[in-house]
Amino acid sequence: MAVPMKNGGMPRKKVLTYVIISGLTTGLGAFIGAIVGSISQEIIEVSLGFAAGAMLYIVSGELIPEANTLYNGKMTAIGNMLGFLIGMFAVMF
């Protein structure tokens, strides 16, 4: 996270501040997740479902079209199919 900001010309103190704030919010989120997870297993299931949906949205909307542009679509299609199959087998076993 810090390297792109530093390479973009952001001052070192500002980079450090943003990295610390990001780390604190991550820790706070993990703490809240641990408390909520101990209360209800269903909340964790729903939260993980939303997280998976958000990741699929990002991959489908941003990463796959960019990969198709860079690599002419052949290997990205094969990679997507293999990834889907590996994911299906990982969930089954």
Q: Cα 24 from chain centroid?
A: 18
Name the packing angle between helices 41-58 and 12-39 (round to 10°).
140
How much is the pTM? 0.52
Taking only the tens of pLDDT, the chain with its 93 residues reads: 888 888 889 999 999 999 999 889 989 988 988 888 788 888 888 888 999 999 888 888 888 888 788 777 677 778 888 988 998 899 887
Which phi and psi angles does 8 have, rounded to 5°?
A: -80, -5
